[in-house]
Chain A
């Protein structure tokens, strides 16, 4: 039986070979026939396209990246300066042409918990006017506290428990291509477990914050730029709505300038940031709302909230150079100071940091920034997902 099958198979094979070879032999008389035979041969083994192993792997990576574009997606980022890496869950939904609902909850390595949500209403007046409703709640049980002043000691670090909730509305009017104004109104509540230590904590201040801003922004994109500038002034009025003496106003002014050299091979990036608070007699500014220095965006290398006081001044110079179309390197120097009074600013007291950084970016956004910063308190590694400024 097996022998019979074997013969059958042999016969079938030889038949196929015979007819195939005859076919080939017949079509080889002209170049056109040869070409047609090759096409005819392919016609017998047509199949749908299948991605190559490389394309399949790339597709998988793409799908992974697209996870963040799904309505419900993992959240990776930060809850609050100095809180470490936070993980959580995000919800992002779009409605209308430009409306966005964005919410996430996250838990950080330092036990900070955050719930944040915003609703961007669809823009109107030809996309010139946008309105955003925002609410967030933060519970940060172990925020580093160094006391106020530019001379606060690293060794004075203690832990502060900080909890805040904010609900507000903000609007932005893009008056011209480069010029925008806006403002908003927030209700803020601040709490701290250290009511015995801090008088402001005992007061548990609640605020109605009104704020306005004006800016000229001619950078290529807020997320990544090699030229242009941003000039912005913010004014905020923190009016305490419960009993206490913690009403104040605050002004933040910032200038950023990006100067391309050698067809953007080098970019000199400059920044001046100044913040000042003012109170009427008998009022004060709670520690947690004072202008601060430290963290991945101001006075890098120092921890977040390292220096706080009624006023601050920060100067930054970065020498950026292109390492590739998607990679920039930077040498930077930050110098800043906080002071209880404006007249106390003295450049000799500036805290300075310097360092080297690398950022991976697209033409319009910064994907990752890694920096090594040196201060007189040590060397730090900074990881961020936004530009330094």
Chain B
């Protein structure tokens, strides 16, 4: 009896405390829209991930699953890793480079490289790759640094190696983690067999590597006139490889991986960049997660790699005619073509291509490139989840990449074919512009708003500023006070002008800590521009700081 009373009493006390806490949590559930540190520009991996176990992705399972998942995506939510101003903070996935800081063509040409490449002298092979048509080796250079070597297919000097370097540089500029890739040359006699080096003949068990194996493998590589072999030397990533980036879901054993990958903006936007670069092989196998340990704490860094099947290269041959135009499996299209007796000729089978041994095969005319029609070989869930705001973000990044930067990146491919290099630069510039033309005017393109101390609001129009649309007849701003705790707004006034500079109405709060919300729309023939974007400013010490920016894109986009 006595025991029961104590329990009852305890329950009552704890219940009261829980009720109080619930009230607290309710209050925090109605948490402020903006915190003091908004907008954050770094998303840290706060938890230790040292217990994570290596997990290899099975190529067949990954490809087949992605094919079977289909291509229909219903109402994807807003990207889950954007900050309050609709940007992607730096993280173990992505680093803001273009746009947020001044990059030069030289920066792009350098990319992720921190060394001049493999040290000269003898290279010791530690393992070799025999599957596929082109060979590959893992070597240690004379300084002990580990490199992965891949070759060009016979007759296509520069195609795979040059493409890999160029795309690596461009993806680095766009913000992704990529390995350090160099073009280097190696002679057969420079390669020594390391102790314990293994060779796995196709379909066989590994066995010790022999000299004859090297000779046989090199027969499948393009040979220079002087007898050397041009290679892409990819510096081994620091950290412990623990798996690949899957483009759907999160990794359940990584505590820091909390946003489903298909909802990560940089992975959604990767689809736009892949379209730009014709990188049709954007699959899990072509990525790498590595466990980094710093200051006694471990976290996972996510890399994209293996860009050999991009631009005009198909890796072991020029890109297929259908690369970028069709998925590997398209049941509806197959049914249509079966009964069409081949007379319903797809566009990719009719259009002209630029073909060169050095860069492979790319569509000749890229001015009319339609990124909405571009497809990787196999459906990618992150690409399919991209909404118009994600695509707008990607297009903004892309148009910040100048033609000079593209040229600098292409030069690092060392194709030694000026005509082909020139074509590649023009093609990439044309495809970049086509992407800008498609996505920047597709939604209200107002961006980068700022409010000065005098109450003058300035902003950019990403579509107009990049010459992808005509200037609107004018802009309209609806000004409101904003209660950061409740989210309530109260209309202050409305202003408009023909230029992208608007004055705040009389009556906006001036006290420190006050918030205002400005709904900005444009008067244009583009109907979507009438949908306002919302900019939120917080009053600081005599200045207004942009703390929020919402494109108000519904899930149906």
- CB < 8 Å: which of A7, A43, A50, A52 contacts B4? A7
Measured in the bound complex, the distance between the Cα atoms of B251 and A243 in whole Å is 76
* B328 located at the interface, meaning its Cβ lies under 8 Å from any Cβ of chain A in the complex: yes
Measured in the bound complex, the distance between the Cα atoms of B25 and A185 in whole Å is 88
Tier of interface size on chain A: 35 or more
Tell me the smallest distance from the CB of A271 to a CB of chain B, in Å: 20
The residues of B that contact A377 with a CB separation of less than 8 Å are none
* A201 located at the interface, meaning its Cβ lies under 8 Å from any Cβ of chain B in the complex: no
Assess the B35–A55 pair: CB atoms within 8 A.
no
Measured in the bound complex, the distance between the Cα atoms of B65 and A10 in whole Å is 44
A324 and B44 in contact, given A4-B4, A14-B15, A21-B18 (Cβ under 8 angstroms): no
Assess the B201–A98 pair: CB atoms within 8 A.
yes
Q: Which of A28-36, A305-313, A345-353 contacts B (4 or more CB under 8 A)?
A: A28-36
- CB < 8 Å: which of B40, B203, B256, B328 contacts A39? B256
Q: Which of B143-151, B344-352, B425-433, B517-525 contacts A (4 or more CB under 8 A)?
A: B344-352
Tell me the smallest distance from the CB of A33 to a CB of chain B, in Å: 8
* A242 located at the interface, meaning its Cβ lies under 8 Å from any Cβ of chain B in the complex: no
The residues of A that contact B8 with a CB separation of less than 8 Å are 7
Tell me the smallest distance from the CB of A361 to a CB of chain B, in Å: 12
Assess the B253–A262 pair: CB atoms within 8 A.
no
A59 and B61 in contact, given A3-B4, A18-B14 (Cβ under 8 angstroms): yes
List B234-283 residues whose CB lies under 8 Å from chain A: 249, 251-258
Q: Which of A79-87, A107-115, A287-295, A325-333 contacts B (4 or more CB under 8 A)?
A: A325-333
* A156 located at the interface, meaning its Cβ lies under 8 Å from any Cβ of chain B in the complex: no
Measured in the bound complex, the distance between the Cα atoms of B35 and A52 in whole Å is 37
List A39-59 residues whose CB lies under 8 Å from chain B: 39-40, 42-43, 46-52, 54-55, 58-59
Tell me the smallest distance from the CB of A347 to a CB of chain B, in Å: 27
B21, B69, B341 — which one has the most chain A CB atoms within 10 A of its CB?
Answer: B21
A126 and B215 in contact, given A35-B43, A46-B252 (Cβ under 8 angstroms): yes
The residues of B that contact A21 with a CB separation of less than 8 Å are 18, 21-22, 24-25
Assess the A262–B37 pair: CB atoms within 8 A.
no
Assess the A25–B58 pair: CB atoms within 8 A.
no
* B286 located at the interface, meaning its Cβ lies under 8 Å from any Cβ of chain A in the complex: no
Measured in the bound complex, the distance between the Cα atoms of B342 and A321 in whole Å is 5
Assess the B334–A323 pair: CB atoms within 8 A.
yes
The residues of B that contact A24 with a CB separation of less than 8 Å are 25, 28
Tier of interface size on chain B: 35 or more
- What is the 8 Å Cβ interface bit string for chain B, positions 318-358, against chain A (1 contact, 0 not)? 00011000111110011001100110011011100100000
- What is the 8 Å Cβ interface bit string for chain A, positions 224-254, against chain B (1 contact, 0 not)? 0000000000000000000000000000000
A10 and B258 in contact, given A18-B18, A35-B44, A266-B342 (Cβ under 8 angstroms): no
Assess the B38–A31 pair: CB atoms within 8 A.
yes
Assess the A49–B37 pair: CB atoms within 8 A.
no
Name the residue of chain A whose CB is nearest to the CB of B64: A58
A329 and B60 in contact, given A14-B11, A17-B18, A17-B22 (Cβ under 8 angstroms): no
- CB < 8 Å: which of A4, A7, A49 contacts B253? A49
Assess the A47–B21 pair: CB atoms within 8 A.
no
Assess the B255–A46 pair: CB atoms within 8 A.
yes
Assess the B258–A7 pair: CB atoms within 8 A.
no
Tell me the smallest distance from the CB of A303 to a CB of chain B, in Å: 27
A36, A97, A262 — which one has the most chain B CB atoms within 10 A of its CB?
Answer: A97
The residues of B that contact A15 with a CB separation of less than 8 Å are 14, 18
Measured in the bound complex, the distance between the Cα atoms of B36 and A49 in whole Å is 36
Tell me the smallest distance from the CB of B33 to a CB of chain A, in Å: 11
Assess the B322–A97 pair: CB atoms within 8 A.
no
Tell me the smallest distance from the CB of B550 to a CB of chain A, in Å: 15
- CB < 8 Å: which of A30, A49, A55 contacts B251? A49
The residues of A that contact B27 with a CB separation of less than 8 Å are 25
Assess the A48–B14 pair: CB atoms within 8 A.
no
Assess the B334–A327 pair: CB atoms within 8 A.
yes
Assess the B37–A30 pair: CB atoms within 8 A.
yes
Measured in the bound complex, the distance between the Cα atoms of B25 and A216 in whole Å is 79
Assess the A40–B58 pair: CB atoms within 8 A.
no
A264 and B321 in contact, given A30-B35, A46-B51 (Cβ under 8 angstroms): yes
Measured in the bound complex, the distance between the Cα atoms of B350 and A108 in whole Å is 46
Name the residue of chain A whose CB is nearest to the CB of B84: A31
The residues of B that contact A11 with a CB separation of less than 8 Å are 7, 10-11, 14
* B17 located at the interface, meaning its Cβ lies under 8 Å from any Cβ of chain A in the complex: yes
Assess the A265–B346 pair: CB atoms within 8 A.
yes
Tell me the smallest distance from the CB of B305 to a CB of chain A, in Å: 21
Can you sample 7 A-B contacts with CB below 8 Å? A11-B11, A15-B18, A24-B25, A35-B44, A47-B252, A55-B65, A263-B349
Q: Which residues of B contact A (CB under 8 A)?
A: 3-4, 7-8, 10-11, 14-15, 17-18, 21-22, 24-25, 27-28, 31, 35-40, 43-48, 51, 53, 55, 58, 60-61, 64-65, 68-69, 83-84, 201, 203-204, 215-216, 219, 249, 251-258, 321-322, 326-330, 333-334, 337-338, 341-342, 345-346, 348-350, 353
